[in-house]
Structure 1
Amino acid sequence: MNPITTLESIVQQYTSGKRDFRRANLREMDLLNLDLAKADLSEADLRQARLGKTNLHDASLRRSNLSEALLWGTILTEANLEEAILREADLSGAKLERARLRSAILCKASLGGASLIGADLREANLFEADLRPTADQITDLRQARLTGVDLSYAQLSGAVLAGANLDRAKLCRAHLQSRPLRATATGGSPQGLSATDLSGASLRNADLSYADLTGVILRDANLKGADLTGTILTDIDLTGAILPDGTQQVHAESPN
């Protein structure tokens, strides 16, 4: 396969119908605002590449290396990112609905304001990842599959994880506490908190030891077998939730 070394060659080949860019060396390249939907970039070297706002819908990036890549606002809906390396990548505001990220490495990645509705992140590593909302966008993980994911020390304050599957997830010392709302554009004071929403989420056998869950919404969540050693549970809403011992919480107050 001929090496791809310039932006012009990528655009020309894609426009002519080529979709196979497997193992391409695109390290540190500027690939902003391109249409690369359905492209096959499996095992490509995209370290420190700039892909902001690029359309990668239904593209294959399986086992590609995107360490420190800039992917803010990138369209990755239904993309295959299984086993991809996204260490310290910036995915702020990225569109990852129904994306496949199983076993991907996202250590210290920035995912603020990203949409991951229905994404598959089973067995992914998000150690120290930042999933806090941005000033104008929530981080949306509704219905995401996060079974066995490593979110130790991750920043999840204000994220929406309603209905997510976090069975066996590692959330040791994760920051899930509700966060203060930002001041208004007119300079007014912020009102209230942006609550981290885990309503209806499944956290069976999850490790929540020493995590901060202050103000978190856990209505109808399943915490059976979860490890709450040292967990901060101040002002959480557990209405209808199944507790670690298998009993159901009737009222909202935190367990003793």
Structure 2
Amino acid sequence: MNLSIEKIFNKYSQGERDFSHINLIDAEIIKANLSGSNFSHGDLRQSRLGQTDFSQSNFSHANLSEAILWGTNFNQGNLKEARFRDADLSNAHFMESNLEGANFLKAIVSGVDFQRANLSNVMAIYADFRISSDYRTNLSNANLSNADLSYSLLSQALLYGANLNGAKLCRAHLGKRNYNHSNLVTDLSNASLQGADLSYADLTGAILVGANLRGADLTGAILDSAILTDAIMPHGEVFSD
């Protein structure tokens, strides 16, 4: 479906919300309000959508590759299997959004708000994924190999079965934190961290049961109270209690 930006705004003002399968390649929509819209299966490659409100919208299977999404609001949206390859999502908002299976290959995702978002099974190889998440973000089975997560705050993230081979986690905070007297820890059970840079990372109390740390750099890492049962350590030895 081909519609001009002006027609989209006109239809939206008249109550229309279904823009599925739309072609918005190289479109520019800045600081607009299109919340609650359906852009599923849309082609929005190379679009510029900075600071636009798409909260509670449906972008499932949409193609946003190479899009500029600075500060864009996707809170509580459905973005299942959306494509963000080479996109710039700096400081975008995805709080409580479903991003299961989304593709962030080589994307810039720094400063993004993923509080309580579902990022299970995402593809984020070589992505700049330096994020801060004080609330539980689901990254289980995510492919974050060679991604840059340095300085990220992931103290409550679910990383069960995630692929972090070659990832940069230098000075990342993956350890236990205490919120209202409830102990919340990072779950890295069965995660693959081969060759990952974990130098000076805080892994206090982290669950690393069965994790693969072969070749990982743990220089200066804090592993106080971490659970390493059956984990493969940097030199190949299996940790035993």
Which stretches of structure 1, 4 residues or more, deviate above 6 A after TM superposition? none
Q: Deviations over 1:159-184 (max 9, x none)?
A: 11111111110000000102xxxxxx
Q: Could you tell me which of 188, 194, 205 is aligned with 1:220?
A: 205
AA matched with 1:66: L
Shift of 1:131: 1.8
Q: Match for residue 119 of structure 2?
A: 121
What is the alpha-carbon root mean square deviation over aligned residues?
A: 1.4
Q: Match for residue 74 of structure 1?
A: 72
For structure 1, the 5+ residue unaligned runs are: 133-137, 179-195, 247-254
Alpha carbons 1:98, 1:117 under 8 Å: kept? yes
Mapping 1:231-250, distance limit 5 Å: 231-245=216-230
Residue 155 (structure 2) pairs with residue 166 (structure 1):
no
Shift of 1:7: 1.3
SS at match of 1:89: coil
For structure 2, the 5+ residue unaligned runs are: 176-184, 232-239
SS at match of 1:12: helix
Q: Deviations over 1:18-49 (max 9, x none)?
A: 00001011111001111011100000000011
Alpha carbons 1:113, 1:140 under 8 Å: kept? no
SS at match of 1:13: helix
Shift of 1:139: 3.2
Question: How many residue pairs get matched?
Answer: 223
Q: Match for residue 208 of structure 1?
A: 193
Q: Deviations over 1:45-102 (max 9, x none)?
A: 0001111000010100000000001111000111111011110111000011111110
Q: Output the TM-score relative to the length of structure 1.
A: 0.84
SS at match of 1:161: coil
What's the % identity of the aligned pairs?
38
Q: Deviations over 1:190-224 (max 9, x none)?
A: xxxxxx11121000000001000011111111000
Alpha carbons 1:48, 1:70 under 8 Å: kept? yes
AA matched with 1:175: K
Q: Match for residue 96 of structure 1?
A: 94
Alpha carbons 1:115, 1:141 under 8 Å: kept? no
1:232/1:244 CA distance change after superposition, 3 Å: farther
Measure, in 2, the Cα distance between the counterparts of 1:219 and 1:99. Answer: 28
Q: Deviations over 1:88-144 (max 9, x none)?
A: 111000011111110111101101111111110111100011023xxxxx6336411
Shift of 1:244: 3.9
AA matched with 1:6: S
Measure, in 2, the Cα distance between the counterparts of 1:33 and 1:47. Answer: 18
Measure, in 1, the Cα distance between the counterparts of 2:135 and 2:151. Answer: 13
Q: Could you tell me which of 106, 109, 134 is aligned with 2:107?
A: 109
Alpha carbons 2:161, 2:190 under 8 Å: kept? yes
Alpha carbons 1:227, 1:244 under 8 Å: kept? no
